Amino acid sequence: MDAPLLLALARARLLAGVGCIQNLWVSPRALALTWAPDRRAEWGPGLTWVFLLNPAPELWLLHEKDAALVTLKLEAKGDLTRRWGQELKGAHLEAVEGDPRERWLRLSLRRRAVTGRIEEMRLCFQAIPGRAGLRLDGVDLNPARMGLGAIFPATTPEPRPTSPALLHWEAQFGEGLAAALNGESPEVVPGEGSIFERHRAWSLARAQTLILAPRVATVDRKLVKERQRLQRYGEALAKDRQRHEAALPLRAKAQALSAELWRLKGTQGRFELSDGTLIQLPEGLRAEDAAQKWYTAVKRAERGLQRVDELERERARQLLELEARILDPPAPPSEARVVPKHKDGKRMETGSKKDDKRSDGKGKAFRNVMVEGWEVVIGKGDADNDTLTFKVASPLDFWMHVAGVPGSHVIIRNPDRISEPPREVLERAAQLAAFFSKARDGGKVEVHWCRVADVSKPRGFAPGKVMLKTFKSIRVYPKE
């Protein structure tokens, strides 16, 4: 943003009337001031000044419902907002100082305290790339100074003798330069309408370039990576299917061999059946052992094919969801809190205030992590582990815990009710279970997992202690 434009936009706001700061929020890279509506000044409700520090130091005018402002507001910090709000809420804009040759602005603000005393402060904005910053000074300030971004002196910087932007304005406005610098000419911003309408349109265009477009590009990159992952996953499943199908013909050989075991029992090597079929037994195996080995291989292949079918259905569902996200991109973020739901449309039980808090009242009772589209919930304490396992989790969800070591209960949500979670989800959840346990600093550890329905708690058991009807094991290294 050029120095003349920065000064002209600030003076235009002052020229429209004494603006009052109604609300504000602060993030590490922006300060947003929402001005009280003023019909005489053509200043509608919700219009907000945004002092942006990066990726480019600029002064924007946006509405509180604009997607770019909502996106930036998600970065707001509560502690910063409270500190700045104590000093700036209710303050009125009294004067604007600056130099059209240097991107530096000082706003003189004044407000009446609860005691009736008049407090004065100065908000300085340095919009120099690489040295952008905000500084709030004043003798009535609680702290001596508050700031964001780069630290710079409170005095006006020494302007450059010649400024290309100012020379361009002199050539463009000629004798009307003074009026343009005072914010009296709407032509300082391209477009149509008043200077405020033009400033907002310009701000929306800049926000699209600097904030929204990079966000969309990031989402697109994630979608491309997700599609590639699903493609590789499909190729791996195809190889597994081919390997399992190759074992199915062993059933016929095992049946033919079993039918003649009465005369071939104890035979090894190569022999001929009654129908003339030649059979070569695996080296070192007798006929009865070979038949049993082939039957076992066929059963394993059938179980493997059943599991591959489940995983392929899950992969097809993920592909459909991915295509839907590509064809119908997600809406801009909203301040409204969305109640999380399972894929079957049911509301999550973790949303209740009782289950969402730890038993000692300190913060949330559970950690939530998304792994390959699966929700993983991690408990934080003994009592909260019991709540997670027996009140929050569903019977068909998957339960995990490190073997023989105190630690968190881990739940893998299973809204589709499949028999087993994908291998990568199982391993990642097991790594989290190992990390949030006393075995965090050890090597490879064993993690037990089963369905929640197989977990019970006999009367008299201590908090967090349970019994398992049946379980499976997986060995992983702890990893957060």
Residue 153 lies in a domain: yes
Residue 132 lies in a domain: yes
Stretches in the chain below the pLDDT threshold 70: 18, 41, 139-144, 326-365
191 in Cβ contact with 201 (< 8 Å): yes
pLDDT value, residue 332: 53
pLDDT value, residue 342: 46
Q: Parallel, antiparallel, or unpaired for β 278-280 and 398-402?
A: unpaired
Residue 432 lies in a domain: yes
Residue 138 lies in a domain: yes
- Same domain membership, residue 210 and residue 356: no
The domain boundary, picked from 157, 179, 214, lies at 214
Residue 33 lies in a domain: yes
Please give the Cα distance from 80 to 146 (Å, whole number). Answer: 10
pLDDT value, residue 440: 85
Domain range enclosing 137: 3-214
59 in Cβ contact with 32 (< 8 Å): no
Residue 301 lies in a domain: no
394 in Cβ contact with 342 (< 8 Å): no
The domain boundary, picked from 187, 214, 241, lies at 214
Q: How many domains does the chain have?
A: 2
* 407 DSSP assignment: B
Query: The pTM is what?
Result: 0.55
Residue 277 lies in a domain: no
pLDDT value, residue 102: 86
DSSP-derived 3-state class of residue 298: helix
pLDDT value, residue 411: 93
The domain boundary, picked from 167, 195, 214, lies at 214
- Same domain membership, residue 53 and residue 198: yes
Please give the Cα distance from 420 to 435 (Å, whole number). Answer: 22
Residue 293 lies in a domain: no
Please give the Cα distance from 115 to 110 (Å, whole number). Answer: 14
Please give the Cα distance from 205 to 85 (Å, whole number). Answer: 29
